[in-house]
Amino acid sequence: MPTQIASGSAEEPNSQLEIVLTAVELSLAALGAALREHDVAGIDRHAGELHRALASAVDRFARAARSGSVPAALRVRLARASGQVAAQRESLARATAALDRAIDVLLPRESPALYSTGGNADHAQRGGVIRA
């Protein structure tokens, strides 16, 4: 009976790790789908879910690591999920940079002023005269 209690208590933290890791994986998949579909509301919602799932997973895995009870298979899955998070972050950074470049082309930040609020009064103030 004591060995059964010991194995049961060792499996309980592992099942908790499995649960939080599965939540991270599901959130990553949902966020990836929302990104592919350009679903802005879904991206926002799934990003929040992923943030909460990651926070919970980090907490659970840190506790398990302190006690030395993180199974190798779960460590591999966690590393894979971490790689997916990094890839999505990089993808979003590239998309943001591309969007910023497109906006800069369409709406230059410092366009030369052709006319002032007084019309072409700027030409007169500079001493230029236009004659036809």
Q: Is it the case that residue 101 has pLDDT exceeding 50? A: yes
Q: Mean pLDDT, the chain, as a whole number?
A: 80
- Residue 6: pLDDT band (50, 70, 90) is very low
Distance CA 84, CA 25 (A): 9
Distance CA 121, CA 68 (A): 77
Structure tokens belonging to residue 27: 């959130």
pLDDT score recorded for residue 11: 59
Distance CA 81, CA 46 (A): 15
- Residue 99: pLDDT band (50, 70, 90) is confident
pLDDT score recorded for residue 42: 92
Other residues' Cβ atoms within 10 Å of the Cβ of residue 22: 14
The model's pLDDT over 49-97, given as tens digits with 9 standing for 90+, comes to 999 999 999 999 999 999 888 899 999 999 999 999 999 899 888 888 9
Domain ranges of the chain: 2-110
In a 10 Å sphere around its CB, with 0-12 CB exposed, 13-18 middle and 19+ buried, how is residue 108 labelled? exposed
Q: Is it the case that residue 17 has pLDDT exceeding 60? A: yes
pLDDT score recorded for residue 105: 87
pTM: 0.66
Task: Tally the C-alpha atoms within 13 A of residue 55's C-alpha that lie toward its C-beta.
Answer: 6
Structure tokens belonging to residue 33: 């789908």
Q: Return phi, psi of residue 111, to 5°.
A: -85, 145
